[in-house]
Amino acid sequence: MASKVTGETVDLPSFFADLVRCETRLYNALNDRLRERHGIVTSQFEFLRHLRDHPRARVADLAAEFAVGIGSTSKGVDRLERQGWVARVPNPSDRRSSLLELTDEGRELVDTAEGTFTERLAELTADALKTSPVAAAAQALAELRSALERDQIGMPTG
């Protein structure tokens, strides 16, 4: 059920439900298209894209970016490594951690998959979202995310 907005008042529990359900449905639809065309799922694409844009990140950096536990992040990286898309290299400043690098195959995959991701996301949102509401929503969500991250709210404990 869609959120109720009367004047300047928003039914926050309904807004939350809408936000979560939209995210889940978009994520699943993107997942289906990425799997169909590239043999990866959305979480793998997001990890690969982050590693492309942030070379030599650590598992802890990925975990912080995606607000998931280090254990599950490490397992996700293990799967990417087994596929030959990511390599762990020694961290010269901390022997206990590794730095993550995309392989050539991983870089090619994420670059190709990004077109599919963007195309499908545009298809899914084109009819429902118009330019000005999208900009306002994007700004509001960016500000909310920034505040949550600044205050370390909702970060996994393990």
The model's pLDDT over 35-74, given as tens digits with 9 standing for 90+, comes to 999 999 999 999 999 999 999 999 999 999 999 999 999 9
User: Which CATH number covers residue 124?
Assistant: 1.10.10.10
User: What is the percentage of the chain residues whose pLDDT exceeds 70?
Assistant: 92
As for how many domains the chain has, the answer is 1
**Residue 3 pLDDT class (50, 70, 90 cuts):** low
Is residue 111 in a domain?
yes
Asked if the model's pLDDT at residue 143 lies above 70, the reply is yes
pLDDT digits (tens, 9 = 90+) for 94-118: 888 899 999 999 999 999 999 999 9
Amino acid residing at 97: S
| Average pLDDT, integer, range 130-149 | 77
Would you say 76 and 57 are in contact if contact means Cβ atoms under 8 Å apart? no
In angstroms, the CA 79 to CA 53 distance is 20
Is residue 4 in a domain?
no
| Average pLDDT, integer, range 128-139 | 72
Is residue 157 in a domain?
no
Is residue 143 in a domain?
yes
For residue 150, what is the DSSP state? Answer: H
For residue 121, CA distances in Å to 20, 93, 124 come to 16, 39, 5
Helices (H), 39-69: 42-53, 59-66
Is residue 158 in a domain?
no
Is residue 8 in a domain?
no
What tokens were used for 134?
Answer: 């999208």
Q: Print the domain residue range for 132.
A: 13-150
In angstroms, the CA 18 to CA 16 distance is 5
Query: Which of 3-7, 26-30, 89-93 comes out lowest in average pLDDT?
Result: 3-7
Is residue 156 in a domain?
no
Is residue 78 in a domain?
yes
